[in-house]
């Protein structure tokens, strides 16, 4: 044994003698190791008295010749208990307190684990929200760029619309002026034709009155019909084809639909209006090239109109198979040689067919007709 250990034993022996302490025996007056510091102050006081003053405890042992001592020992026995009962109570208290501590610790551990789980969930949600925020910020940036591009495109579109509007208005004004001029021109032509017709009627009346002889091979007598009052002869101008009650002129020069319409009006006619299948068959035999006819839906898509105002629903629909299809904005009708109608772009160049009502020559009576007819 070392010198330091000997010194410590000497110091302990000196303290025991000074305070009259008995040697310490393990397990005497000590709470079980589970919770040694949780006893009440009175129990600690008793334990310390038993440990520090063992001689006094021995002095209070029962003595047969001293009743006072016996009474004191009885009080001490009641005060400290029967030993076994106190230890049992202390042990039970320690167990109960230990169980309470274990339960509290379990609850606290459970709460701690729940808090950790909740915190982990919050951290994950926070990371997810942060990621979503980053994505949203990127999307907002892209959206802002797209908005700027759309704004620029809108500005360009508005500029184009304004430019087109100005050009369209200018074109409409010009077209309106041309139409008014054309109407005035057509009005003058109509007046001239009316005067010519009146003059022709007067001439015919003069011829009838003067009993002029008409050669039998005259074009005026090619299409005559007898009626009750005499004879009516339909006739056409030179170079025109007669069919039914109309005269037809085929133009060899190609024009667009609008130009063809104007050219026919200059001839005192209009683009042909097909009223029945017989007229269609006649034109199929006569027309040798694709030719414009007087049918279009330029004013409103799908509403076809004849140039002379004849209702479209009252005429036969002699379209080629699967026509009209308005492929590429086709608004004008063209007659194909030996075939049917087709819708086409009005700006294309085709021949045209003009039509006007045939003139009439009235011969007064059948008897006079024989005299008027030459050999």
- DSSP letters, 229-274, are TEEEEEE--TTPEEETTEEEEEEEEEE-HHHHHHHHHHTT-EE---
Answer for the pair 200, 358: CB distance below 8 angstroms, yes or no.
Answer: no
Is 95 domain-assigned?
Answer: no
End-to-end CA distance of the chain: 181
Is 190 domain-assigned?
Answer: no
**75 and 206 share one domain:** no
**Domain containing residue 60:** 3-80
Is 188 domain-assigned?
Answer: no
Could you tell me which residues are beta bridge partners of residue 355? 248, 270
Q: Is 306 helix (H, G, I), strand (E, B) or coil?
A: strand
Say if residue 369's pLDDT is above 50: no
Answer for the pair 222, 352: CB distance below 8 angstroms, yes or no.
Answer: no
Q: How far apart are CA 288 and CA 351, in angstroms?
A: 9
Say if residue 127's pLDDT is above 80: yes
Say if residue 183's pLDDT is above 90: no
Lowest mean per-residue pLDDT among 171-175, 347-351, 366-370: 366-370
Is 65 domain-assigned?
Answer: yes
Domain count, the chain: 2
Domain boundary among 49, 80, 111: 80
Say if residue 165's pLDDT is above 80: no
| DSSP string of 56-114, one letter each residue | HHHHTS-BTTBHHHHHHHHHHHHHHTTSHHHHHHHHHHHHHHHHHHHHHHHHHHHHHHH
Is 149 domain-assigned?
Answer: no
Is 258 domain-assigned?
Answer: yes
CATH number for position 357: 3.10.100.10
How confident is residue 144, by pLDDT bands cut at 50, 70 and 90? Answer: confident
Domain boundary among 80, 115, 130: 80
Lowest mean per-residue pLDDT among 27-31, 281-285, 297-301: 27-31
Is 356 domain-assigned?
Answer: yes
Domain boundary among 52, 80, 108: 80
By CB atoms closer than 10 A (0-12, 13-18, 19+), residue 331 is buried
Is 108 domain-assigned?
Answer: no
DSSP assignment, residue 339?
Answer: S
């Amino acid at each position: 044994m070392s010198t330091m250990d000997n010194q410590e034993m000497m110091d302990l022996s000196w303290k025991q003698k000074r305070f009259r302490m008995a040697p310490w025996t393990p397990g005497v007056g000590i709470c079980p190791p589970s919770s040694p510091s949780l006893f009440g102050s009175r129990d600690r006081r008793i334990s310390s008295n038993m440990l520090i003053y063992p001689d006094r405890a021995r002095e209070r042992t029962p003595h047969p010749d001293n009743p006072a001592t016996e009474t004191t020992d009885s009080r001490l026995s009641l005060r400290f208990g029967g030993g076994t009962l106190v230890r049992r109570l202390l042990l039970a208290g320690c167990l109960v307190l230990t169980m309470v501590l274990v339960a509290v610790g379990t609850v606290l551990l459970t709460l701690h684990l729940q808090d950790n789980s909740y915190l982990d969930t919050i951290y994950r949600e926070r990371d997810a929200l942060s990621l979503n925020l980053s994505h949203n910020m990127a999307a907002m940036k892209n959206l802002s760029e797209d908005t700027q591009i759309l704004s620029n495109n809108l500005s360009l579109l508005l500029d184009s619309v304004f430019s087109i509007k100005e050009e369209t208005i200018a074109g409409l004004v010009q077209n309106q002026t041309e139409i008014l001029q054309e109407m005035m021109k057509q009005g003058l032509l109509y007046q001239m034709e009316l005067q010519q017709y009146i003059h022709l009627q007067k001439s015919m009346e003069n011829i009838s009155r003067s009993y002029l002889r008409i050669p039998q091979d005259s074009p005026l007598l090619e299409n005559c019909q007898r009626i009750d009052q005499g004879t009516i002869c339909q006739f056409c101008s030179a170079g025109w084809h007669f069919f039914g009650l109309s005269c037809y002129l085929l133009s060899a020069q190609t024009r667009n639909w609008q130009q063809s319409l104007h050219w026919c009006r200059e001839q005192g006619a209009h683009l042909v209006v097909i009223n029945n299948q017989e007229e269609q068959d006649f034109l199929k035999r006569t027309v040798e090239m694709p030719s414009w006819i007087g049918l279009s839906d330029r004013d409103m898509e799908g509403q076809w109109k004849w140039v002379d105002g004849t209702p479209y629903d009252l005429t036969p629909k002699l379209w080629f198979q699967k026509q009209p299809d308005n492929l590429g904005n086709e608004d004008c009708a063209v007659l194909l040689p030996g075939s049917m109608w087709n819708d086409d772009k009005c700006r294309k160049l085709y021949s045209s067919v003009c039509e006007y009502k045939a003139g009439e020559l009235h011969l007064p009576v059948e008897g006079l007709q024989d005299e008027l007819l030459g050999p």
